[in-house]
Amino acid sequence: MSAGDLSAAAAGLVSCETCSLLTQPVHPNHPGHCPRCGAELESRRPRSIQTTWALVIAAAICYIPANLLPVMNTTTLGSTEPDTIIGGVVFLYTSGSWPLALIVLIASVMVPIGKLIALAYLLVTVQRGVKGGERERTRLYRMVEIIGRWSMLDVFVDTFTVALVQLSPLMSVEPGMGVLFFAAVVVLTMIAVETFDPRLIWDAAARQQDPRQETKP
Amino acid sequence: MNRPDEFTSVESVACPDCDLLQQIPPLAPGDRARCPRCRHVLASAPRDPLDLPLALTLAAAIFLIIAQTIPLMNLSVLGLTASTTIIGGVLEMWQTGEPVTAMVVAFCAVIAPTLYTLFMLVVLLAARRPPAPHWVGELLRWAQSVQPWSMNEVMMLGILVALIKIASLATVDPGIGMVAVGALVVLYPAIMVSFDPRVIWQRVEWVDGDLPPDARGLARMERPS
């Protein structure tokens, strides 16, 4: 391996995830604590792949009721009408604000599903030890990290609609079960992004260059 | 072990995204250092590493109080009126049978931004006089872990979408609280751009009892004997 491509793990060093201090661990399997900030040292996030898979699968399961169940129930003069996420997009589109309809469609439908596919793709390629495209996959990971929070949009829309439209007996809006599952999808995928360790993407390439070196995920 | 002797010295690090060992060269104010392999931004050298983020955080604290206490919008239809604050929205969500969702909203819209602002204020104030005590690093760690959950910009857009949805049914007016939320949307990214956590870590006392080498130098400069 060229000296220019040496990873900290290959050099027997550990970088603190909290304060980024580079240290020589006491023991490779039990690196101990960071001398500067006291955080527990870890060469790679522990059980990263298993934990991330568990969260991705849980989020994928929640994604189904999140889209099928109503996020809001609007009661107008005694008659109640359920409103799903897609229903909300259609409502915005037909009421003439297609830019907002597009924003909600991207944030509530496309971002969550895109996030799940992206995380699953990253997990599968890491598990198979795929080489190549490391930079692109790291970029994908960062994109998921930055965009992910925007899917919380619909939860806020529902909260403030419910909070404002309390004009009984004329009209009132109550939250539906869908919003709970939707919030669960966002929270679970956000935690999944934090448990996934992007350094695993680069470990496969390092193993190829030096077959003796094994970096444990 | 790597101990930078001063802020401008060469520092050895491993990239947090790809683990590549490398050295951060001395940076001129305004410069940023990126990992050559994965392009992760490893370090930046803010022109004003402590005062500017502190001023921005103070401003954010003031606007946060306004955003949390003054109604975001007022609604009227056929003589009936309603208004809501952020916490009002959370309470309504709780009372109408969605306590878990209400807690998620409370965390992302109230608790996380408040904790982030509070921790950053204490960290930036305490780091002004190095060496900063060890708990300053602990607070910085907490600030960084709640930061992704502070979602003012998402909430702002959410409120706008809700306003437009309701606008077809009733008259809606944005309130002062909304303006404050708008200010926060600008202030939080500004804090993050103007701040590099390395500045704090180089001023914090080490857990093993050592003073940061940098702070020793700074302490000498500030208190000439």
At B46-63, the pLDDT tens digits run 888 899 999 999 999 999
Q: Give the Å distances, CA to CA, from A147 to A112, A190, B102, B172.
A: 10, 10, 22, 29
Q: A74 — contact with chain B (CB < 8 Å)? A: no
Give the pLDDT score at A96: 78
Q: Give yes or no for residue B6 having a pLDDT over 70.
A: no
At B167-177, the pLDDT tens digits run 877 788 888 89
Give the pLDDT score at A193: 95
Same domain, B11 and B76: no
> Cβ neighbours of residue A133 under 8 Å, at least 6 residues apart?
none
Q: Give yes or no for residue B140 having a pLDDT over 50.
A: yes
Chain A from 107 to 146: CB within 8 A of any B CB: 134-135, 138-139, 141-142
3-state DSSP call for residue A131? coil
Give the pLDDT score at B185: 96
Q: Give yes or no for residue B223 having a pLDDT over 60.
A: no
Same domain, B69 and B148: yes
Please provide the size of chain B in residues: 225
Q: Give yes or no for residue B215 having a pLDDT over 80.
A: no
* Residue B195 vs residue A80, higher pLDDT: B195
Same domain, B37 and B59: no
At B111-131, the pLDDT tens digits run 999 999 999 999 999 998 878
Domain edges within chain A: 1-43, 47-209
Rounded Cα–Cα distance for residues B118 and B65 (Å): 12
At B69-105, the pLDDT tens digits run 999 888 887 777 778 899 999 999 999 888 999 999 9
Whether the complex's predicted ipTM is more than 0.95 is answered with: no
> Cβ neighbours of residue A186 under 8 Å, at least 6 residues apart?
A112, A148, A149, A151, A152, A155
At A67-99, the pLDDT tens digits run 999 998 888 877 888 889 888 888 888 887 888
Q: Please, are residues A204 and A130 in contact by the beta-carbon 8 Å criterion?
A: yes
Give the pLDDT score at A115: 96
Rounded average pLDDT over A17-43 = 86
Binned at pLDDT 50, 70 and 90, residue A6 comes out as confident
**Are A37 and B164 an interchain contact pair (Cβ–Cβ within 8 Å)?**
no
Q: Which chain B residue shows the shortest CA-CA distance from A97?
A: B164
Q: Scan for tokens 């109080």, then name that residue.
A: B65
Q: List phi, psi (to 5°) of B159.
A: -65, -40
Binned at pLDDT 50, 70 and 90, residue A4 comes out as low
Same domain, B57 and B131: yes
Rounded Cα–Cα distance for residues B156 and B72 (Å): 10
Rounded average pLDDT over A184-209 = 89
Same domain, B73 and B182: yes
B214 in any annotated domain: no
Note the pTM of the prediction, 2 decimals: 0.87
At A126-179, the pLDDT tens digits run 999 988 899 999 999 999 999 989 999 999 999 998 888 877 667 788 899 999
The single-letter DSSP state of residue A40 is B
Kindly state the percentage of chain A with pLDDT values over 70.
93
* Residue A211 vs residue A135, higher pLDDT: A135
Give the pLDDT score at B211: 63
Give the pLDDT score at B224: 40
Q: Domain range for residue B84? A: 48-208
Q: Which helix or strand (DSSP H or E) is residue A52 part of?
A: helix A48-68
Which chain B residues are within 8 Å of A159, Cβ to Cβ?
89-90, 92-93, 101-102, 105, 158
Most confident of A29-33, A75-79, A105-109: A105-109
Number of domains in chain B: 2
* Fold category of A47-209 in CATH: Butyryl-CoA Dehydrogenase, subunit A; domain 3 (1.20.140)
Same domain, B167 and B116: yes
Rounded Cα–Cα distance for residues B166 and B174 (Å): 12
Same domain, B74 and B181: yes
Give the pLDDT score at A216: 47
Out of B17, B101, B168, whose CB is closest to A95? B168
CA-based Rg of chain B, rounded to a whole angstrom?
Answer: 22
Work out the number of other CB atoms within 10 angstroms of the CB of residue A80: 11
Binned at pLDDT 50, 70 and 90, residue A209 comes out as low
Give the pLDDT score at A217: 46
Least Cα separation, residue B197 to chain A (angstroms) = 8
